[in-house]
Structure 1
Amino acid sequence: MAGGAGTRFWPASRKMTPKQLLNLAGDRSMIQSTVDRLGTLCPPKNVLVVTNEVLVDAIRDQLPDVPAESIIGEPAKRDTAPCVGLAAAWVMAMDPEAIMAVMPADHVISPDDVLQKAMQHAASLVEEDETRIVTFGIKPTYPAEVFGYIERSEELPGTEYPTFDVARFREKPDAKTAAEFLKAGTFYWNSGIFVWKAKTILAALEKFEPEMTAHLKTIQASIGTDSFAETLTKEFTAIKGTSIDYAVMERYDNVKVVEAPFQWDDLGNWTALPRQRGVDDEGNTIDAKHLGIKTSNSIVRSDDDHLIVTVGMEDCIVVRTPDATLIANRNDESAVKEVVKKLAENGWTEYL
């Protein structure tokens, strides 16, 4: 899934270059890293990318080994359930018995071999019972309010990795509830990574979202024909969007959660960079040509060799691009999303 806008990474993340196309956690873009980490487990010919239609060409440029026709552009933003349904319909057209994994393109996961083994474990659970839906839970390290949670119940015996029945999914909590979840020890962060048979998720969508499924079936029937693009535009745009968690996960009975054995990070905003790129002796994370004097606990990034000098700055974010510069209080970083909203209201669309 690679259709997000990444507004919290403005000004680097823009409409035509959202965060999944940026090198935020390493030398490769986030979507390239997502494909890379699958290795031989899922070769490029088996990779399907669903994104915003305006990003199709850019993603094809970044993923030359993935078949061009396997990078599909949504004609409208309709949340994750239609995205998953479209992907499953495409996979079903290729192989009616296929097991598919769904992964967002903006996560950082390591090591690769551990992820691949965990994916194989999840696939084996689906092979044992094709009605199963498997997801990965991240063991929480602090009472996060920005993630949804999964509550586990009974453990499945004899599994390679700790695997549990899902009691229920929980929405993003307030601070008090998040602290209670952490203390209970039976809650995971919801990773948004799923493994299932394509036909199983389509059957679940048909049960819970029949109107959506009707449109998806029409799209599926056009795959491989000259009318696919026209049908996709007409039918997908007509779908009422909702999340896959609400459409299926919160309502489906046979969901298993695997305690993730890999390291996971969801790069949600600029404050995630220190976790990925580290800090210097003053607590700064620097990805730029930078001279800092009395500068601490700050994040500085530039897209070019423009020199950035900071003096007497603490807990700041400085991000420079050729046409815009962000200077923000690190502790009020969520306000970056408000900046994008204000730019749109002012009609300054050239900066979006």
Structure 2
Amino acid sequence: MLCALIMAGGKGTRFWPLSTEEKPKQFLSLIGEETMIQMTINRVKRIIPIDRIFVSTGDKYVELVKEQLPELPERNIIVEPEGRNTAPCIALSAFVISRYYSDSNIVVLPSDHLINEEDKFVDILTMASDFVNDNNDAIVTLGMEPNRPETGYGYIKVGEQFIQSVNNSVNIVESFVEKPNYEKAQDYINQGNYLWNGGMFVWKTKNVIDLTKRFLPFTYEALKDVTTVEEAKLQEYINTSYHKTDNISVDYGIMERAERIFVIPCDFGWDDVGNWTSIDRYSDKDTNGNVFNAKGYPFKSNNNIVLTNKKILLNNINDLIIVETEDYIMISSKKHEQQIKVAKEHLD
């Protein structure tokens, strides 16, 4: 039995000023009419019923989750009282899911990624879940075939093949690699045995709990009674215990220490939609390469991203990002968009 855990607690600061701490990226319609979290839920609903889909989020986003996902059972909203990184979030969620589906597998998915070829995606999820059923102590991660020397992603070094199916293989993970510089990223592309780490995992619920007990005993002790406390007191128990967990990512806390980790190389049109230039990749453009979601005219201007409410005239400008909200106007060069987050700190 496959369950889904959608992680939706991020603040989406790289899409400021459109994305704010009050309404971050996963709750915005960045590509198409649906919000990112709605796209994610609808994608996994193709193989997992809504009663087995869980969303982990912060207290301040619960109402947004309810508003955008009205069919999601309220018990399936897992509320973190504070942000303590991904390892305790996933552990807490595994304990909650085991209350209702003890003999289950969990696919862990970010709430704000784009996947263009959904048929391939659900086929690979099914393959990963079947593999975990046959290998109870395995963790399967989905690795994306890289098509550019990306410095914003972590990488997975692929080891020897474990099994081969008609369309996909399952390989041993040799190592997880931190975000590289451009030269190192290009070297990974040239070597041909590195994949992008998309932060998607499939494993048994029991295995999540067992590995937490083994590698993060403070987290395990803080959360172990989640499976048995009465329903009416569950959130109160979480609120009083969660601060005792280890503040650590699942990569450092578990993935780099577990022995049985595998990867399925994937090519289903994935993007983490992590910055403004990723919007550029998937939006309609005019003949001069402008993404122009605005009233006005881009005169002799090329390759800009413009989202404004007021009429705007561009005059001989290139490679800019211009975003207007009710409170702010942000103008940035595309080249230095990674510094928007840092620059914003000088504004308030």
Structure 1 and Structure 2 fold alike (TM over 0.5): yes
Within 2, Cα distance between the matches of 1:338 and 1:51? 25
Please identify, of 92-101 and 231-240, the stretch whose mean Cα deviation from structure 2 is larger: 231-240
- What is the aligned partner in structure 2 of residue 298 from structure 1? 304
Please identify, of 120-129 and 213-222, the stretch whose mean Cα deviation from structure 2 is larger: 213-222
Q: Which amino acid aligns with 1:125?
A: F
Q: Which residue of 1 aligns with 2:59?
A: 53
How far did residue 164 of structure 1 move? Answer: 0.5
**Equivalent position of 1:117 in the other structure:** 123
- Given candidates 98, 103, 110, the residue that maps to 2:104 is 98
| 1:237-276 to 2 correspondences below 5 Å | 237-276=243-282
Q: Please identify runs of 4+ aligned residues in structure 1 that moved more than 4 A.
A: none
- The CA deviation string for residues 274-312 of structure 1, in whole angstroms up to 9 with x for no partner, is 11113221111122223211211100113xx43222222
Is structure 2 residue 187 aligned with structure 1 residue 183?
no
Residue 337 (structure 1) aligned with residue 302 (structure 2): no
Distance 1:71 1:133 in 2: 24
Q: Sort the Cα spacing of 1:204 and 1:315 in 2 relative to 1 into closer, same or farther, 3 A.
A: same
Residue 64 in structure 1 maps to residue 52 in structure 2: no
Question: Structure 2: which amino acid aligns with 1:193?
Answer: M
Report what 1:350 is aligned to: none
**Deviation at 1:239?**
1.9
Matches within 5 A, 1:200-349: 200-222=207-229, 224-302=230-308, 305-343=309-347, 346=348
Distance 1:51 1:342 in 2: 28
How far is the alpha carbon of 1:29 from its aligned partner? Answer: 0.2
Name the stretch that deviates more: 331-340 or 128-137: 331-340
* 2:335 match: secondary structure: helix
**Post-superposition offset of 1:62:** 0.0
**Displacement, 1:33?**
0.2
Percent of aligned pairs sharing the same letter: 33
Give the Cα–Cα distance (whole angstroms) in 2 for the partners of residues 299 and 221 of structure 1.
Answer: 51
CA distance in 1, matches of 2:317, 2:75: 49
What is the rounded CA distance, in whole Å, between the counterparts of 1:250 and 1:240 in structure 2?
16
Query: Once the 2 structures are TM-superposed, how far is the Cα of residue 184 of structure 1 from its aligned partner?
Result: 0.9
- Which runs of no fewer than 5 residues in structure 1 stay unpaired? 347-352
Structure 2 residue runs of 5 or longer lacking an equivalent are 1-6
- Give yes or no for contact 1:45–1:65 (8 Å, CA) kept in 2: no
Match of 1:16 in 2: 22
Stretch moving more, 212-221 or 254-263: 212-221
2:4 corresponds to which residue? none
Distance 1:88 1:189 in 2: 25
Q: Does 1:3 align with 2:9?
A: yes
Q: Note the aligned Cα RMSD (angstroms).
A: 1.4
Supply the distance in 1 between the matched residues of 2:130 and 2:228 (Cα, whole angstroms).
30
